[in-house]
Amino acid sequence: MQDKLYKVIAYTFGLPVESITDEHSPNQIKNWDSLSHINLMLALEAEFSITLSPDEAAEMLSVGLIRKVLRDKRVASI
């Protein structure tokens, strides 16, 4: 499932999947702006069949925090 998460993030930001780590955030990914953040949230909702609240989306400011929210939503193996 981690690979699935990294693939969604890599695709959204146009990065090689092997370069993604839990520490990545908008500070490390220059393409991570407000519009791409919305695209990432939509991609995560589609990939993992979940619905994110505005508060959850606002909280997801690093790959590690994304993983935490997905765990809280009971997405398996995150």
In a domain? residue 78: no
In a domain? residue 66: yes
Contacts of residue 36, defined as CB under 8 A and 6 or more positions apart, other chains included, come to 12, 13
Q: How far apart are CA 23 and CA 35, in angstroms?
A: 20
Domain that holds residue 62: 2-72
Q: Each residue of 12-28: pLDDT tens digit? A: 999 999 999 999 999 99
**Mean pLDDT on 55-78:** 92
In a domain? residue 77: no
In a domain? residue 65: yes
Q: Each residue of 42-62: pLDDT tens digit? A: 999 999 999 999 999 999 999
CA atoms within 13 A on the CB side of 60: 29
In a domain? residue 34: yes
Q: Each residue of 25-46: pLDDT tens digit? A: 999 999 999 999 999 999 999 9
CATH code of the domain in which 9 resides: 1.10.1200.10
Nearest to 60 by CA among 77, 17, 76, 78: 78
- Indicate the number of domains in the chain: 1
% of residues, the chain, pLDDT over 70: 96
